[in-house]
Structures are given as C-alpha cells and as structure tokens.
Amino acid sequence: MKNTPELRNWLDNLKLEHPVVIAGPCSAETEEQVLGIAHQLKDTDVNYFRAGIWKPRTRPGNFEGVGAIGLNWLKRAKEETGLKIATEVANKNHVELALEADVDMLWIGARSTVSPFIVQEIADALKGTDKIVLLKNPVNPDLSLWLGGIERLYKSDIKNLGVIHRGFSTYEKTKYRNIPEWQIAIELQNRFPDLPLICDPSHITGKRDMIYDVSQTALDLNFDGLMVETHTDPDNAWSDAAQQVTPDSLVQIMKDLKIRKETDPESEYNMKLDNLRAQIDFIDNSMIDLLGRRMKVSDNIGALKKSRNVAVLQTKRWNEILGKMILEGEQHGLSEEFVLRIFKAIHQESINHQEKILNK
C-alpha cells in the first residue's frame, strides 16, 4: 500500500475548507427522528449524514437497530436534504442491502475489525466498489490488525478508503469510554500518510461534554475529519445517550474548531511544528501514565516482600533487567548511556516505593 495518493481522492475532491464531518444519530430509531435530525444538519458543515441501522451490542437484550427498513429512511433523508448518507455494515448481507440503497459511505465497526474473516467477507462483497469504505480500529490496541483490515480492503480493489479512530477498550477505569492511545493512530498516520484519518470523539469519550476537547486534539494531530453522534433529543436516545450532542451543539463545536489553512511557508512550518509538538505531548503523557502504573506494581511487590520478610534490592534481577533494556534501547536508536540513566532513575523510584511499604 505504499505510495497510494489516490486514497485521498474522495476527500480532496470535496474541496473543503474544514475537516470532513460525518454526523447523525447513533441509531436510526424512527423515520421522523431520522428526517428531523437530517434537516437540522442540512446547510451546516456536515458532509455525510450517518445513522446506525444494525447495532451490534455487547450484551443481548439491548436495542440492536431497526434493520433494513432504516435504509429507506436514510434514502429519504438524502433526497430531502441533499446530504450524502453513511451507515455501518457488519456482514455480506448488510453490504448488499446498503449498496442497493445507494449508501454513499460504509464503515466497518470495531467489533468487526477484530475478525479477519469478517473483514474479508465484507471486502469480497465490496470488491471494486467506488463507494467510500472506512475501517474503525479494532477494539483492542493492535495496529497490525487495523492495518491488515485496510490491506484486505485495498486488495479487493477498493480505492476510496479511510480509517476511523474510535479509541480502544481497557479493563481499567479512565475518564474515557475507550482510551485514545493516540500513539497508535499517529503510527498508522506515519506509515500511510495518504490514508484519510477520521476521529470518532463520541466513542472515545462516551460523554458529550468531552467531545470538543478530543476533537481539537485530533485536529492538532492532523486528523482529516470527525464522526460525531448527533441527536435532537440525546438524553432519550435509544442507544449511547450520554455521548450524543444536539445539532446546535455540533454547529458550535465545528465553529470553534474551524481551521484556516495558510499557504505561506512560515505558517506551514508552524503548523508542522505544532503537529510534532502535539505528538510529543501525547507520548510524554503516556510515559507518565505508564510510569505511574509501574510504581503501583512496585507497591504490590513491596507488600509481598514485607509479608515474607524479603529484602527490597534483588541485584540479580536488576542486572538482568538492565542488560535487556540496553539491548532493547539499541534497537530503537537509544544510546546505552541514556538507557542506563533512565532505568537507574526508574529503579531508584521503585526502591523508594518499596521501602516506604516495608517501613510502615
């Protein structure tokens, strides 16, 4: 997939002065609801009107979508507003029905991306289509699985491609519904700079009051667009109520996020520099988070050693770690001196934590 600038054709042909915007309800609930939201999004920055027709839920018994009848509602919304339409597909049957309904954009959800069998089935059903096909990241933070899905679609002669970053599941509780793990999206962007990258702040945050901040972060990292779940009555939405915004709120968010691209060299330099610095900021924050988690493990080790009256310093173990990290560092272009300084500091902090536990 190297040197594939044609992947951006569908995006470049829109000739937008702002990021591409995909918006609409998490789920199509009724024809009245779909049409009402679509009309409120008409004549805004929204380029594609989205609505979930089939809704894969984590547990059975929850609302799982209205099914194929919702495609007729989307078609009517397109006819009445002129907005292009988008929906999620999870199998061959979904693809066939969506193509019959002339859906302009299809995306493959995170639960589907985890299965190469499902992605291949969808790729085969879409073979040679000129529709836009977007692939959400898998539920788990696995870049190779994400890239593998894109490669399967590309090999099926689907050239209007893109990816959606919707965050990754984690067992630990955080302020996010799905942790961003921005470095994974950045790595994908670095490998395939021509592949349009869309952020889904709704699923990352799970909270409407965080949508703006995550959207701004995505744009700071040079994302090409946003997918924002939008509902006229979000509190009473049939699915994912907490993360949907009203059309008016979306309009205000997009107004605040406007980007005016400058063509002079100095502005281009500043834009690139800001992008690189934003990447460093996120990596630094990730490092601090990992170090904090490491020290929590050290606390647990200290408690275990205290229960067995074992000494804090284990010289053999420490030397093994240091030797391994020096070799790992060399593979990443890091000098031995730098690795030694970093890990000696980490080791000392770990000792301090364990000594506090033992001396209580």
d(C-alpha 295, C-alpha 215), whole Å: 31
What is the model's pLDDT at position 304? Answer: 92
pTM: 0.79
Q: What are the structure tokens assigned to 112, written together?
A: 């589907």
Domain with CATH 3.20.20.70 in the chain: 5-260
Give the Å distances, CA to CA, from 269 to 61, 197, 259, 274, 280: 53, 21, 15, 9, 17
- 239 in Cβ contact with 186 (< 8 Å): no
State pLDDT tens for residues 242-296.
999 999 999 999 999 867 554 456 777 887 888 888 889 889 988 999 999 999 9
Superfamily of domain covering 5-260: Aldolase class I (3.20.20.70)
What's the one-letter identity of residue 208?
R
Determine the 3-state secondary structure of 152 from DSSP: helix
Q: What is the pLDDT of residue 266?
A: 74
**Which residues of the chain fall below pLDDT 50?**
262-263
Cα separation, 159 vs 59, in Å, equals 35
The per-residue pLDDT for 25 is 98
Name the DSSP class of 226.
E
Under a CB-based contact definition with an 8 Å cutoff, are residues 204 and 177 in contact?
yes
The pLDDT value given to residue 262: 45
Q: 142: burial class by Cβ within 10 Å (0-12, 13-18, 19+)?
A: middle
- What are the two backbone dihedrals, phi and then psi, of residue 68, each rounded to the nearest 5 degrees? -55, -25
Q: Which CATH number fits domain 266-358: 1.20.59.10, 3.40.640.10, 3.30.750.24, 3.40.50.300?
A: 1.20.59.10
Domain with CATH 1.20.59.10 in the chain: 266-358
